[in-house]
A and B are shown apart, each in its own frame.
Chain A
Amino acid sequence: MSSVFTLLKKLSFPFPGKKKKNGNKNKKEKTGQPVDSRDISQREADFKKTALVADVEQNLHRIIEISGNSYDLCIRRCLAGPEEVPCAIVFIDGLVKKDVIDDLLRVVKIDTFKTGIKGVHKQEIYKTLKRRLIPNALEEARDMETLYNGISLGETALLFDGTAKAILCETRGWITRSITEPDAETTIRGPREGFVENIRTNTSLIRRRIRSPNLWMENLHVGSLTRTEVAYAYIKGLVGEEILEELRSRLERIDIDGVLESGYIEEYIRDTPFSLFPTVFRTERPDRVAAAILEGRVAIFTNGTPFVLILPGDFSMFVQAPDDYYEVWPIGSFIRFLRTLAFLVSLFLPGIYVAVLNFHPELLPTTLLLTIQSAREGVPFPVVAEILLMEITFEVLREAGVRMPRAIGSAISIVGALILGEAAFRAGIVSPGVVIIVAFTAIASFSSPSFSLAIAGRLIRFLIIFLGAAFGLLGVQFGFLVLLVHLASMRSFGYPYLAPYGPFIWQDMKDALVRGFWWQMTRRPKLLGFREPLRQRSGQMPRPPRKGDQRGKNDRKGK
């Protein structure tokens, strides 16, 4: 029996079990040993505990000990004032503006003489500097954590001998991408600005659009190592407090080492983690964010990414594009209706094609059926295999188009269009009908303004194809019903995902499948703007003045 056990133990060498927890104990015992033996969590904990002391050299020693004398960490030592108090300036190169640092050094080295303080206590120079001399002093740091939070954001720390505190000065300035039009979300009419990677620039883009003081922005840091700045903006008094409460608790619950993109946050705050459909909207366009905030939604900015999250996100949001609102009413409504239709086509068309050809050929007009069938003559595969072959080929092609360097991009399109399309059809591998269906489906799925919805559709399309191949139109109908149930049972921060279609909200229909006139949209979305439903005065339909009519009277009479 015991031999079997030892054999098992020997065999399990590729899967080492949990080591016994004496590792931590050992570390605690040997505090006197070199710091290198501590693991990252231990180092972080120690660092957070460290407070500043009154001796500047000791402080600097600790800073070097903590950050390992990293080469971008700059420490300038100098003597301040007539008393020649030793002091130091600490900042991280690359995050600061050089001329501001020079100003700061000039203040410390030269201006301290002008104040005429003489023969006073060492701490006095700290106070004078903080109160009177440094124009950009932000706050005081009493421990290493505050200090590092500051300098990692581009602030500069001033340390003085004899004071167990540091002054943090605003010296931020680093190179960012300039504001350009987002490539993924282009419009024909509308602002050309897009978000950048810097959170402050992004929030300023919203501030510039909504100048009300009731636009509130709160922030917090997420990520134990990256300490990424995350901010959320909303209009106080318009957004439902329950949504904010829920968002706050979900954001504070996140415990992760690093956040590099808003997608990390998105996955942590979603209501239905297993759903393919996005419940949080993401965009690069400030005008979309501003519009959403005006409706009573909340926007989440993440430092380091141009993608801003909007919540609650509902289905109709994902098929809307900013152009709808900027073009005149009939065009806006038409393109929106077309887009919704295109989304449905991209989901169901290949499945319906397979189902009809396999099970219900009688549904097609006879001539059309004959055309399709004669073109299929000699194709060695069943319809479903043909469709799957082409769909998968197209998916690979699309992925290749995204990944490959721009310079070779044209090669891909030649290979895709000519070799795969033309040659496959000439060789009789696939029938032209399938090529048409796959191409049209692809175009339809590209017309979706939101990439996250389109990729959900891509996966579901395959399921529908399988259902159609197995059960005909009945299976496609089943797929539709299950999809509907799934969408209807989803909520995003308490907001029903399918609103205003289900629950059916008549007053919101003006901005769902069609886009009503601007002067017609007198009310905010019912479930979002419930705190103050009225958005504008009604009866603003423009009309030329009639003879003898007073304008104001006429308007009031209009409704």
Chain B
Amino acid sequence: MYTEKIVNRQLFFFLFIQRTTIVISFLPALTSAEALQDAWIAGVLALLPSAAMILFIGKLAIIFPDKSIVQYSQELVGPLLGKFLSLFYLFMFLLMAATDLRIYAEVIKTGFMPETPIVVVMGIMMLAAVIVVYAGLEPLGRCVDVIFSLFVIMLLGSLFFSLMHADFRNLQPVLSKGWSPVIMGAITPTIISAQYTNMVMIVPSVDEPQKSLRAALWSILFSSLALVLFCVVVVSVLGADEGARAAFPVFKMIRSTRISEFLERVEALTILAWGLGLFITASVNLYSGSKGLSQLLGLKDNRPLILPMSVIWVAFGIQIYKDYFEVKQFFRPEMVAPVVFFIVLFPVTVLWVAYLLKRPGIKQSRR
């Protein structure tokens, strides 16, 4: 059977775009809610623990380079428990895609098309994701190659335009309330790096899986850079309070930008970048989810699962949150941390323990 292969550059693009999409959608609001004008320090602080978390999740995938988590968890802890543990992961993909879709739909609804129901917005984006996942991982990889440069150019453009209104005095005073709010603010961005669990499904399709971890770490570095940049610009344009209170700070920041009589309302640029990023996020998650579920069920192909799954995902995205404020609540550290710990870190920990206990035997059998 023909196996689809992508390269580590594409994996890097996947992970970078996925995280940066979250960043531009709502992250500054959340870090600055705790840390106010020191949000950028929280962004910097989040880098190291995020990298540690990625190492923790990703290293196990590298040890089994030709297996996805559904397969190696069964090898490590037995078929029944393995399947049970990988269900957590599959739920994580669903949760991430549904949440991202929902936020995007809320932005479109409040900012652009107030009369369009969110199910239409979510449905359209999901349909695009369904089409690309049907086409396969390789076309998805080629799409991300094209989208990446557009995405970066648009984001840099919107940052550049916003900088004209920046007032860097808004960033002062630094560390006025001490370290504790900053550390609190760093929790959410760290926890969000649980998104990198997509690696565990994609690594088996990468042509050089040994280098995948490096790609993931580079991507966390660059996306943290994007996070810090956005924090700085948002806070210096809007001010710390406004940045913390606004529903969509980045969006609000761009909207307030007016370069000249003619060049105003450049927020379409950001929204387009966001849409492209969301397309990648949704399709990568849909791919991981459908691939994982097909392996869990013992199907040869993930394609029959895609369409029904996407319908369920859209419905889930609508049902899980009542309105935007519930989504925002979900990303408070005290809400999101336990969820992610339970869904992502708990199964990985079990697998690590099993691996460390069983390692000699596995090495022999692999030889």
Contact = CB atoms under 8 A, between A and B. Distances in A.
Contacts of A472: 112-113, 116
A527 B136 CA distance: 21
Given A472-B112, A485-B135, A503-B145, A477 B261 contact: no
Interface in B1-37: 7, 9-10
B177 interface: no
B93 interface: no
B145 A482 contact: no
A525 interface: no
B113 A489 contact: no
Nearest to A504: B145
A473 B131 CA distance: 19
A440 interface: no
A482 B144 CA distance: 13
A474 B128 contact: no
A484 B146 contact: yes
Interface in B123-137: 124-125, 127-128, 131-132, 135-136
A485 B261 CA distance: 37
B146 A488 contact: yes
A360 B143 contact: no
B143 A471 contact: no
A52 to B, nearest CB: 51
B143 A488 contact: yes
Interface string B106-122: 00100011001000110
A173 interface: no
A191 B359 CA distance: 69
A351 interface: no
B112 A359 contact: yes
Given A471-B120, A477-B275, A488 B142 contact: yes
Contact of A501 (B120, B146, B272): B146
Interface magnitude class on chain B: 35 or more
A501 B261 CA distance: 35
B262 interface: yes
Contact of A485 (B9, B10, B113, B139): B139
A278 interface: no
B272 A477 contact: yes
B199 to A, nearest CB: 20
B142 A503 contact: yes
A131 B142 CA distance: 62
Interface string A481-495: 110110011000000
Interface string B301-316: 0000000000000000
A532 to B, nearest CB: 23
A394 interface: no
Contacts, number: 91
A502 B145 contact: yes
A498 interface: yes
Given A359-B113, A363-B268, A496-B142, A488 B135 contact: yes
B265 interface: yes
Interface string A501-517: 11110000000000000
B279 interface: yes
Q: Is the interface of A mostly helix, strand, loop or mixed?
A: helix
A472 B132 CA distance: 22
A251 B275 CA distance: 43
A475 B125 CA distance: 9
A362 B114 CA distance: 13
Interface in A440-493: 471-475, 477-478, 481-482, 484-485, 488-489
Interface residues of A, number: 27
Given A471-B124, A477-B275, A502 B265 contact: no
A48 to B, nearest CB: 41
B141 interface: yes
Contacts of A471: 116, 120, 124
Contacts of B139: 485, 488-489
Which residue, A368, A471, A489, has most C-beta atoms of chain B within 10 A? Answer: A489
B76 to A, nearest CB: 34
A492 B116 CA distance: 40
Contacts of A475: 124
Contacts of A481: 128, 131-132, 143, 276, 279
B147 interface: yes
A130 B127 CA distance: 72
A478 B124 contact: yes
B30 to A, nearest CB: 26
Contacts of A478: 124-125, 127-128
Given A482-B131, A485-B131, A489-B136, A474 B141 contact: no
Interface string B262-290: 10110010011001100100000000000
A360 B9 CA distance: 36
A504 B147 CA distance: 10
A358 to B, nearest CB: 10
A365 interface: yes
Contacts of A367: 261
Contacts of B112: 359-360, 472-474
B120 A362 contact: no
A449 B142 CA distance: 25
A504 B265 CA distance: 31
A498 B125 CA distance: 22
A154 to B, nearest CB: 48
Contacts of A496: 142
A252 B279 CA distance: 42
B108 A474 contact: yes
A496 B141 CA distance: 12
B47 to A, nearest CB: 26
A9 B121 CA distance: 54
A478 B10 CA distance: 22
B124 A474 contact: yes
A370 to B, nearest CB: 13
A362 B255 CA distance: 11
Contacts of B140: 488
Nearest to B261: A365
A482 B113 contact: no
B146 A498 contact: yes
A405 B139 CA distance: 46
Contacts of A489: 135-136, 138-139, 142
Contacts of B135: 485, 488-489
Given A473-B268, A474-B124, 5 more contacts: A471-B124, A482-B128, A484-B143, A502-B141, A502-B145
Interface of B: 7, 9-10, 108, 112-113, 116, 120-121, 124-125, 127-128, 131-132, 135-136, 138-149, 261-262, 264-265, 268, 271-272, 275-276, 279
8 contacts: A359-B113, A363-B268, A471-B124, A484-B143, A488-B140, A488-B143, A489-B135, A489-B138
Interface of A: 359-360, 362-365, 367-368, 471-475, 477-478, 481-482, 484-485, 488-489, 496, 498, 501-504
Listed from nearest, the 8 A-B pairs whose CB atoms lie closest are A502-B142, A489-B139, A504-B145, A502-B145, A488-B142, A489-B135, A502-B146, A481-B128
